[in-house]
Amino acid sequence: MTTSHSAADASGEKAPPEVVREAEELRLELNRHGRLYYVEARPEITDLEYDELFRRLVDLELRFPDLASLDSPTQRVGAEPQDKFETVPHVAPMLSLDSTQELDVVHRFHDRVSKALGAGNEPSYLLEPKLDGASIELVYEDGLFTRAVTRGNGQEGERVTENIRTISSVPLRLRTDVRPAPRMLAIRGEVIMSISNFQDLNAGLIEKGAEPYASPRNSAAGAIRQLDPSVAASRKLDVFVYDVLALEGHSVITDSAGVDALRDWGLKVPERVEFARSVQDIASYHQHFVTARDRMDYEIDGVVIKLDDLAARAAMGSTSHHPRWALAFKFPPRQEITRIDKIDIQVGRTGVLTPVAFLRPVVVGGVRVARASLHNRDELKRKDLREGDNVLIQRAGDVIPQVVKVLERVEGRSPAFSMPAECPVCGTSVYEEGPRTICPNRFGCRAQLKGRITHFAARAALDIEGLGEETAHVLVETGLVSGLAQLFDITAEQLVQLDGFAEKSATGLVSAIQAKKTPELRRFLVALGIPEVGVNVARQLAAHFGDFSLIRSARREDLEAIPGVGPLMSKAITNFFDEDRNTVTLDALLERGVKARVTDPADTALADLGAVVFTGTIPVPRVVAESAWRNIGGSVTGSVSKKTTFVVAGENAGSKLGKAEKLGVQVLNFEEFVERLRGLGGDIKV
């Protein structure tokens, strides 16, 4: 339904009382049938009968515009596309959950909760499946749906109300026949896409020659951040709610009572929410879903254990990252066997040549996997992976495909794969740096240029809205941009000739690019992608030199006078500015009027982010993760102490994890680490 109800479509005539009553009855009836169909899965009428009621209401609202209301089912897909999303604070923080795959950790969690409650107070837990989707905050005022906000950094997110309004399982007005609506209700939920709808979506994308989505979660998260609500509507999304963040005008004393209230108000809650009083109960519930999840039509990646008593929760409190009264008991990675059909090379933004395994497609946990990164030549050699091998693969964290090992090495295998001597994209001779193989043609290699344009426009760099990965690909592949500086030559007339651009979006992109001709110096340095120069180092350089020309001409000893800049970093920076190809690009940017400006030196200061310890196996080489943290001003140590800021725990984490828990040091999984890193302006390729 895409009808827009504007005054121009209607006569302007005021609706008589009998029409007002009919419209109200139709809205109530349609909302009731929508809840029965989308939330309770027990429809009472056919689709044809529903459509007839819907069309009657549309006709009335078009004839009498004064009938329009925010809770009308006709308003689900009636909004115009937005220019951008507004960032707004959450009603209450949306914290992450501490998580584990080990039953021993669940035992320790139970012991901590029991100790906190005191002798004679046995914990009662509420258990629910851990939905693998995109977290969302929904706000109702006097029963009316008024706002939806993405999780963002946990404290604030993007207002995506019009997109969430398109989702039929989200009531536009709370049901009040069982209990009255509260004055204000803020709830946390998960936006998901069913596996069957996800497969249909990807089949359509593949048929069009487009890149399919990696998982239902990625598709759902991408849909709710589309500027055009009709795109979100086309994805057939669903929302389950599971946590009351704030409540006014009504009270509940347990989480289970809150779930009952949400259900009474017509909201969709997860299936099979149960109680538990022992670790044995929890383990049994967890095992049920380990077996059942492959039969479910949506993704879950574990179960959630929550203390039921809300007063006891408040007493236990939370860390800055997660509540102490809850734990996610996650599933082990799902594994399958397949064959490596081909090993090829992918060239990334920084010029690193990454070997990629193209696999005989296999479904791993509901997701079609057809390729996996092999990281670098050392990793390839260590695992001895070759074309034609039968291999075990898994989705790390149920998301990232990994080749675990060769199942059997037989005679007559293909020859070992060798890294090429030249870049397969631009033909430039490559060089080796540690385990990496690198193309030095930073701004002239098409593959690198796409990535560098995306990086140039990223939030931590120049923050150019509308210039993302897909747009960068189009600009380079069509030949409109063959160098970074040419971004500032683009005209709206050129863009409208390309697929995907209308006059408004073309004009908006050109304006957004031109508005960044005088970026802050620190942002400009980040945008250039200078090796070893992340957010923290860029701020230090900007504060110390105050002018781009001085940084560009600085000698190694000048750079090493800055605290934290050592010989390797100074060499990488001076080599960047001495490289002839880079000189051509920089001169071209300056010729187009790009001039970096220095802001208040106080802005260059970066708070001490503290020391991090990594333990266990993570989806990227540990040196990459450590470097990403150091790039934003953090430090990395090898042992856990009370001074450790947090521990990043991967699979098969060792004694460092136990020590962190004993000392009360915060523990993050890899996905949470990446989220923290990006929230601080850093990034990492995963």
Which sequence positions are flagged as catalytic?
130
The rounded distance, in Å, linking the Cα atoms of 656 and 638 is 9
Tokens read off for 4: 């827009």
Inter-CA distances, 98 with 91, 108, 312, 684, Å = 22, 13, 18, 22
- Helix or strand or coil: residue 644? strand
Do residues 498 and 510 make contact, with C-beta atoms less than 8 angstroms apart? Answer: no
Do residues 513 and 464 make contact, with C-beta atoms less than 8 angstroms apart? Answer: yes
Tokens read off for 573: 């920076």
Do residues 223 and 148 make contact, with C-beta atoms less than 8 angstroms apart? Answer: no
The rounded distance, in Å, linking the Cα atoms of 133 and 235 is 14
The rounded distance, in Å, linking the Cα atoms of 480 and 492 is 12
Q: Which residues of 592-621 are buried (b: 16+ CB within 10 A; e: fewer)?
A: eebebebeeeeebebeebebbbbbbebbbb
Do residues 258 and 252 make contact, with C-beta atoms less than 8 angstroms apart? Answer: yes
3-state DSSP of 195-215: HHHHHHHHHHHHHCCCCCCCC
Give the distance, in angstroms, between the CA of residue 174 and the centroid of all CA atoms in the same chain: 29
Q: From the CB of residue 112, how many other CB atoms can be counted at a distance below 10 Å? A: 16
Altogether, the residues listed in the chain come to a count of 686
State the residue for tokens 């690909």.
Answer: 473
The rounded distance, in Å, linking the Cα atoms of 625 and 631 is 10
Q: Which residues of 484-523 are buried (b: 16+ CB within 10 A; e: fewer)?
A: bbbbbebebebbeeeeebeeebbbbbbebbeebeebbbbb
Helix (H) or strand (E) holding 451: helix 446-456
At residue 118's C-alpha, the angle toward residues 112 and 119, to 5°, is 115
The rounded distance, in Å, linking the Cα atoms of 381 and 386 is 9
The rounded distance, in Å, linking the Cα atoms of 25 and 57 is 10
> What are the phi and psi torsion angles at 197 (to 5°)?
-65, -35
The rounded distance, in Å, linking the Cα atoms of 243 and 246 is 9
State the residue for tokens 């079609």.
Answer: 368
